[in-house]
Amino acid sequence: MRGLRLTRPRRLILEAVRDTDVHPTAAFVYRRVRRRLPRVSLATVYRNLRVLAAEGVLAERADAGGLRFDGNAEPHDHFTCIGCGRIHDVPVRRGRAVRARLAAQTGFEVLNHRTEYFGRCGDCRRQGGRPSPKGQRRS
């Protein structure tokens, strides 16, 4: 957070992302911020989400459905439920070893890696049946 002013719109945008665990889209954040700051502009939301991500205060991630933001800026992986579409945080696996192995095999300098899991969450398993693509709200 080195030298970045915390204006009201900016602060509310940051709070909106941190106050949810849905890994929201810009549109979702926009809707939330508008409750408290009705005149905020969608461009302001996009602009500040990018600024905050560049500062490392937020994380930015792209999935099949577009841009999303993550209030948890610590390294972690994600599990996406194909039933309800929710994205859960999961602990990152043994990082070093995995990267070192790939580097040895390929000659690449491996600086980072990220794993995405897919399947059905506890709720969706309990509700039984085959993976019904219900939910899938885009948030």
Q: Where does this chain touch its own copies (CB under 8 A) — which range of 1-9, 25-33, 49-57, 105-113?
A: 105-113
Residues numbered 12-41 forming contacts with DNA, rule: CB under 7 A: 25-27, 37, 39-41
CB of 79 closer than 8 Å to CB of 121: yes
C-alpha to C-alpha distance for 34 and 121, rounded to whole angstroms: 31
Measured between alpha carbons, how far is 127 from 25 in angstroms, rounded to an integer?
A: 27
If one asks whether residue 84 binds Zn ion (CB under 5 A), the answer comes out as yes
Binding mask 5-44 for its own copies (x = CB under 8 A): ----------------------------------------
Helix (H) or strand (E) holding 26: helix 26-36
CB atoms within 10 A of CB 91: 7
Contacted by 21, from DNA, Mn ion, its own copies, none: CB < 5 to 8 Å by type: none
Identify which of residues 74 and 109 has a Cβ nearer to its own copies in the complex. 109
In contact, 58 and 69? CB cutoff 8 Å:
yes
Q: Which one among 57, 67, 73, 121 touches Zn ion, defined by CB under 5 A?
A: 121
The whole-angstrom distance between residue 48's C-alpha and the CA centroid of its chain comes to 15
The verdict on 110 binding its own copies (CB under 8 A) reads: yes
Residue 139 neighbours by CB under 8 Å, 6+ apart = 22, 23, 24, 25, 28
* 59 within 8 A of 70, measured Cβ to Cβ: yes
Per CB under 5 A, does 87 bind Zn ion?
A: no
Residue 127 found at the interface with DNA (CB under 7 A) = no
Query: Which residues make up the interface to its own copies (CB under 8 A)?
Result: 62-65, 79, 81-82, 88, 90-91, 93, 98-99, 102-103, 105-122, 125
